[in-house]
Structure 1
Amino acid sequence: MYHSAIIRKGIATLLFVQLIVAAAFAQNKTLVVSGISLKVNGTSTLHDWEMKATSGTCTADLTFSPAGQLTGITALSYTVGAETLKSEHSGMDSNAYKALKTKKNPNITFKITTSTVAADGSIKAQGQLTIAGVTKAVELTAKSTAAAGGKSVVIKGSKVINMTDFQVDPPSFMMGAMKTGNAVTISYEFTLHQ
């Protein structure tokens, strides 16, 4: 009788542990992008400028709490075609594409190497940013907002970079009369769904 009680407790404990492990693994989700926005804002000797892209790819392995809040990013890869960036002026676009060397390096990419997600959804991510064929280690900060149950998550943030850090010469226009500043702000937002 004593042995059968121990065996029943042992089996119950094993089943309980299996349920906990299964629940933990059920919270890991691979999601794909449904909406993407990338903006590059800068200055020039004439006026401020902006280029936008609304297409690209992003895949991610994310971890959610049972309540549906983002708790971790296991992997994330984000790619935007450099020539999908558009301004209001086609001449500016052409000069930007030359500066970005898009014929040889058609994509701008970011791949997370490590990250932390705080309880309020704030993200700190280290990763590899590639622009114009030059890859640099960068730290990004972002904010995540998850829908109930972890069905989707919106991630948005921004980063100021210097173009010359990526061997991009700031474009000039009108035979050098207008020059862009070296610093640009890259703002990104994307929605990931199961």
Structure 2
Amino acid sequence: DVLSEDFDEADMQAAMEASLRESQGPLKASMPATAGTTGPLSCPKCTFVNPPGRRTCDMCDAVLSHQEVEVQDPDEDAAALAAASTVASPSRGQDVSTTGASLKGATGDELETKGCQYELVAVIHHHGQHAFAGHYTTHVRRPGRDSDKRHWLHYNDSVTRKASETEVLEEAAKAGYILFYSFSEATTTAPRSSSKNRPRA
């Protein structure tokens, strides 16, 4: 076919743009614009945080829409995580006081709990600025009564290595996400005697 003389430069440009849209496929051509969003968008497929205005994910090329959840300001998110952090020190002999609480014995007598001792046995660490994206590593204490058998292991994907207790506590203070404790002992007093049980004089 021969082009007609009426086919000007503007028509040629429009035809080229239409051809380009068709070559990108139906999803790419009909993508909703995300330019109206004010913050970065989290990809629904891989959770990668994309800059504002992106139409596709920089990591996996998934289509982003205006319906995706806007990501909070990284500084606000990090501050919220830091505020919710729990200190993991000390790792042994943690006294969780339960003064005023009572336990029921087999006979129904009340026992006052003086304190409960807990030991830190594992920590899951979160590395990243956002709670819903990042990398997770784990420290786990190997059980044992002997100090040579009882040590910490660090798991990072397929890599496992020994770790010092100091390293565990330092990393837990910075990036601790979930801390696991094991109950070690509770000290209790003898049952309280009542006036009914006292011998008569």
Q: State the TM bucket, normalised to the shorter chain.
A: under 0.3
- Higher relative contact order (CA closer than 8 Å, sequence separation 6+): 1
Higher strand proportion (structure 1 or 2): 1
State the TM-score, normalized to the length of structure 1: 0.24
